[in-house]
Amino acid sequence: MYETILALVMLAALVLYALFAGADYGGGMWDLLAFGPNRRQQRDAIADAIGPVWEANHVWLILVIVLLFSAFPPAFGMIMTALFMPMILILIGIVLRGTTFVFRKYDLQRDAVHRRWSAIFGIASFLTPFFLGLSLGALATGDIRVEEGVIISGFYAGWTTAFAVGCGLFAQGLFAYLAAVYMTVETEDNPAVQRDFQIRSLISAVTLAPAALLVYLLAGDGAPYLFDGLSQWWSPPIGAAVSLLGIGAVVALWVRRFAWARVAAVLQVTLILVGWGLAQFPYVIVPDVTFADAATAPATLRLLTLILGAGTVLLLPAFAYLFYIFKRRRLPADSR
Amino acid sequence: MEDFFFARSLMALSLAFHIVFAVMGIGMPLLMAMAEGKYLRTKEPVYLDLAKRWARGTAILFAVGAVSGTVLSFELGLLWPDFMAVAGGVIGMPFSLEGFAFFTEAIFLGIYLYAWDRMPPLAHWLSGVVVAVSGALSGVFVITANAWMNAPVGFDLVDGVITNVDPVAAMMNPAALQQIIHMILASYVAVGFAVSAVHAFFLRKDRTSTFHRYAFGLALLMAMVSIPLELVSGDRIAKMTAVLQPPKFAAMEAHYHTESGAPLVIGGLPDDAEMETRYALEIPYGLSFLAHGDVGAEVTGLDAYPRDEWPNVTIVHWAFDIMVGCGMMMFVLALWTGWKWARTRRLPDDPRLLLALIAAGPLGFIAIEAGWIVTEVGRQPWIIWGVLRTEDAVTPVSGLAAPFIAFTVLYVFLSVVLVFLLKRQFLETHSGNHRS
Q: How far is A54 from chain B (nearest CA, A)?
A: 8
Share the mean pLDDT of chain A: 86
**A76 and B77 in contact by Cβ < 8 A?**
yes
Q: Are B113 and B28 in contact (CB under 8 A)?
A: no
Percentage of chain A lying above the pLDDT 90 cut: 21
pLDDT in tens, chain B (436 residues): 688 889 889 899 999 999 999 999 999 999 999 999 999 999 889 999 899 888 988 888 888 888 888 888 888 888 888 888 888 888 888 888 888 888 888 889 888 988 888 888 898 999 999 999 999 999 999 999 999 999 988 888 887 777 888 888 888 899 999 999 999 999 999 999 999 999 999 888 888 888 888 999 999 999 999 999 999 999 999 889 988 998 998 888 888 888 888 888 888 888 888 888 888 888 888 888 888 888 888 888 888 889 888 999 899 999 999 999 999 999 999 999 988 888 888 888 888 899 999 999 999 999 999 999 999 999 989 998 888 888 888 888 888 888 888 889 999 988 888 888 777 766 655 444 444 3
List CB contacts of A251: < 8 A, sequence separation 6 or more: none
Q: How far is B87 from chain A (nearest CA, A)?
A: 8
Q: Nearest Cβ partner of B67 from A73, A81, A98?
A: A98
Q: H helices within B245-308, ranges in order?
A: 246-252, 286-292
pLDDT tens digits, residue range A289-325? 888 888 888 888 888 888 888 888 888 888 888 888 8
Mean pLDDT of A252-275: 90
Q: Residue A11: which pLDDT band, with cuts at 50, 70 and 90?
A: very high
Nearest CA in chain A to B97: A307
Q: What are phi and psi of A54, to 5 degrees?
A: -65, -35
Say yes or no: B269 contacts chain A, CB-CB below 8 A. Answer: no
- The CB-side HSE value for B401 (13 A sphere, CA atoms) comes to 3
Residues of A in contact with B417 (CB under 8 A): 99, 103
pLDDT for B425: 67
C-alpha span between A137 and A90 (Å, rounded): 14
**B60 and A303 in contact by Cβ < 8 A?**
no
Nearest CA in chain B to A53: B110
Those of residues 152-171 in A touching chain B at CB distance below 8 A are 155
Q: How far is B297 from chain A (nearest CA, A)?
A: 42
pLDDT tens digits, residue range A104-130? 777 666 666 777 888 888 899 999 999
Size of interface A-B (CB pairs under 8 A): 211
pLDDT for B17: 92
**B417 and A99 in contact by Cβ < 8 A?**
yes
ipTM: 0.84
Say yes or no: A305 contacts chain B, CB-CB below 8 A. Answer: no
Cα end-to-end span (Å), chain A: 46
pLDDT tens digits, residue range A86-109? 999 999 999 888 888 887 777 666
pLDDT for B435: 40
pLDDT above 60 for A330:
no
pLDDT for B430: 45
**A296 and B107 in contact by Cβ < 8 A?**
no
Mutate which of A59, A104, A113, A147 to test chain B, going by most B C-beta atoms within 10 A? A59
Gyration radius of chain B over CA positions: 23
- The CB-side HSE value for A9 (13 A sphere, CA atoms) comes to 25
Q: Are B124 and B116 in contact (CB under 8 A)?
A: yes
Percentage of chain A lying above the pLDDT 70 cut: 95
Query: For residue B161, what are the β-bridge partners?
Result: B158
pLDDT for B436: 34
A162 exposure class (CB count in 10 Å sphere: 0-12, 13-18, 19+): middle
pLDDT above 90 for A57:
no
